[in-house]
Amino acid sequence: MANKDQINQELEALKSKFMLLNTDEERNAFRSEVKAFANSKSDEEKQLVSEAFIEGANKACVRADKLIDDMLRNKLDGIYESVSWSYIARTYFNKSRAWLSQRINGLMIHGKEAQFTHEEKQTLLQALRDISGKIERTARVIEQTL
């Protein structure tokens, strides 16, 4: 019987092979190979495969969240110095500027990288839209005086 490390190695080999597939024919052949792989396993090994898939999916989700947060930070670079983050933190989150800065910059807090929750990202989006609208309205008022 294979152990967890062996199962992980086999899955990594399959994943590497999958990444190189280009055609539907290759993908169909790969599906057959994966079915044969699964059918060759005992019930205990199938449980290990299932656990490895779940663990891999969870790691992929964490990596995806990190990429999204990194993209958010990169997008904010274009306006970072133009916006009062203290105002946003206080007005929209009822938090301190430090709290907001920790999330924007992904700082380590209690051994874990600070990140926005989905709801906090929505709040930040709404805050930026709200401020954008205020700036646009003020610009129109000034424009009318010209």
Q: What is the pLDDT of residues 73-124, one digit of tens each?
A: 787 877 888 889 999 999 999 999 999 999 988 888 888 888 899 999 999 9
Q: Are 1 and 44 in contact (CB under 8 A)?
A: yes
Angle at 43 between CA 51 and CA 4, to 5 degrees: 40
Q: Are 123 and 89 in contact (CB under 8 A)?
A: no
Q: Where are the domains of the chain?
A: 1-67, 78-146
Q: Are 69 and 104 in contact (CB under 8 A)?
A: no
**End-to-end Cα spacing for the chain:** 82
Q: How far apart are CA 48 and CA 6, in angstroms?
A: 10
DSSP E strands: which ranges in 2-91? none
Q: What is the pTM of this model?
A: 0.56
Q: What is the pLDDT of residues 43-68, one digit of tens each?
A: 888 888 888 878 888 887 778 777 77
